Structure 1
C-alpha cells in the first residue's frame, strides 16, 4: 500500500481502508478492455486481482493509448498482480486451474469456447471450486446463433442501437470517443459478480455471469425499443440536441462553448430573466415544454445569439446566479485544474517507476465506510508478481 501525493491540480487522501471486497480473490484471464476493466473495478473495491498474462508478450493493452509512453495500462491494470502463465501449454493450464481453485471470481473475455479449448471448462472449474463465480464477457453471449462470432466493442455498440443515434443526421454514425461498449459490458459483468457474491453468501454456490457487449449497450438505450414497438417511432441521429427538448444544447460563447439545460418551465423562466428577455417565458411559442419543443430550432438560435455575446466565465456567472443547470465542456486540462475535482479528489496521482507519477481518475463510486482505493500501481513487467502469487495462493 502506498500514499498518493496530491498537487495543486490533483489531490488525494490517505488510504484508510482495504475496500469492501477485501479478502476476495480474482483471477483475470481477459485482455484489452472488456475483461480487464471488470477486473479494475473489482480491484478498486478491494479485491486481490491476479492477472494471467502470456509470458513475454502480455496484454496488448500495455501498448495502447496516446503518447510516446502509453498510459492507459496504468489505469486499467492498477491494483493488479501480473502472473506469467502460458494457457496454451499443459503446465500453464494446470497452474491456471490451481489458481482458479483458490479464487472467488474468474474473469474472461475470450470468444466462447476458448476456455473449453484450453481444458478450462467452467463445468470442471466449478466442480473443483463450487463457490466459484465466472464472469464471461463476450460480444454476443455464451448461447444463441451468434455466440461463436468474434465480437468487438464497436460492433456491440452498433448492434445494441448506440451507433445509429450518435452523430449528425447528415453523416455516418459516430462513435462515442471512448470504448463505451467494452466498459459497459465490463461494468455489468462487475455488477453481476457482486450480485453473485451475495447469492453465494446465501447458498454457498457460485454461478456464471454472462455479460455481452450488445446487451449491455441495449440496457442503456432508454425507451428506444418500446417507442418503435408501440408508436412506430425510430430514433435517429440528432447531433447535439434531443428532439422536442429545448433549450438543451451546447451554445457558442465568444471564447468557447457552454452547455445549458433549461427545458423545464420554471428553469426556462429563470434563463429568460438571465438573458434580459423575461418576455420569452410568457410567449406562447416558448411558455410550455411542449411549445418549446415545437419551436426548438428558433429558440436555440435565440439562446445562441445571446450566449455568443458573452465569454464563458461571464455566462457561467449568470447561470449560477439564476440557478440554471449549465456547465463548461471539459477536457482533461480543465479537469486537472478544476477546484471541484480537487476538493473531491476526483483525480489522484499514482507513483510510477518510469514516469514518476501518473494522474488518473480515482475510484468510484464512493463508499462511506469501505471506500475503494488504488493500493498498488499497474505491474510494468509481464509476470513480475508470479512468484509472490504462486507462493501466497498455492504455497509453491
Structure 2
C-alpha cells in the first residue's frame, strides 16, 4: 500500500476524537502522503496546532483571516492543492454547516471551494448521531456526493454506548488508499447480505449457524472501495459497519433477511449473497420457555425458509446475482448445481469445517460461472474480498455491459 506523493488535506473539527487525528497524520505520512492540516477554532481546544505541525511537517491553518495566507487567497490555494479532503473528526456542528453551505471559517470555506472528493468521519454522542437533524444533514451530504466514513459503535467518551465513535486511524487511512484505486464498480448499486440468521424456538433458544459475518462485511467494504453505493443487510453479528456503507439493515431471521434483500435489491445492479441463511425454521415459536421434562424427548417440526437467490432469479428483471456455497464435501459439484438451479451469474464456493471458512480470519474461494472458473487462494478475508469484487466487476461488465 502506498500514498506516495498524494496530497491529503486533513480537516479537524472540535471533539474529543481530535486526538486520534494525530495518529492518522502519522499513518498517512508513513505511506508517503503529503498532509496539510486545517483546524477549526474549537479543535484547538483539544489538540494544539503545534502538535499537528510537528507530525505533518507543514504549517497548520486555523483562521480564515490569516492575513499572510489570505493575501494570496490561501483558502483557494488549499482547496486546489488537495487531492482528497478528509475531515476527522467531523462534528455534528460541522456536518450541519456543510449541509447548509456555510462558509464562516476556513475549513467550511475550502470545502465549498474544492473540486476534490470530500470524506467525513463523523464523531459525536450516540444521541446526537441519531437525532433527526443530524440524519437529515447526513442525507443531504450523501446526496451531494460527500463520502461518509463510519461512524462505528461502541463505548464513548461521555460514558454512553452506541453509534458515533470515529473510525480508527488505520481504517480511515485504508479508505483513502482505496479512493485512489481502480473504481471498477463506480456508479453501481450493490446489495450485500452477511452473517448468520437465527430462528427462534422460544424466547430463550434459537437455531443458528457459525457464520461470523466477517467475509460478507469484507465484501461490502471492498465494493465501497471499488466505487459502488452499497447497502448491507446484516444478520445478528457484532461487527462495526464498514466505512462508506450507504445503508445498513440489521435482521435476525431468514424471513426478515428475505424481506430486507428483496426491498433493497429492487433497484440494485448487483446482489452478493454472502450471508449463511438458515434453510429451515421451527413451524411454531413457543411464547414461553420450553421446560425440560425428565426422561422425555423434544421434537421440533421444521419448515423451509424462503430462498432469497431463487426469489430474485425468478423475477423478470433482477440484479446480477452472486451466490455463495459453503460446503463440507463435494464442493465443486454442489456449487455448480446451485449455480444452474438458482439461475446465478457467479457462485463463490468454499470448503468449511475443520478450521476452514467459518470463525477464521482467512478463507479461500473458487468462483464458477457459465463457461468459466477462477481460483482465489487462501488469504486474509479483506484481501480475498477485493479479489472477489474484481472478478464480479469483470463478469458484470461481460454480461450486462
Query: Shorter chain as normaliser: what TM range?
Result: 0.3 to 0.5
Q: What TM-score, normalized by structure 1, do the two folds share? A: 0.34
Q: Which one scores higher on RCO, CA 8 angstroms, separation ≥ 6?
A: 1
- TM-score, normalization: structure 2? 0.33
Q: Which has the higher strand share?
A: 2
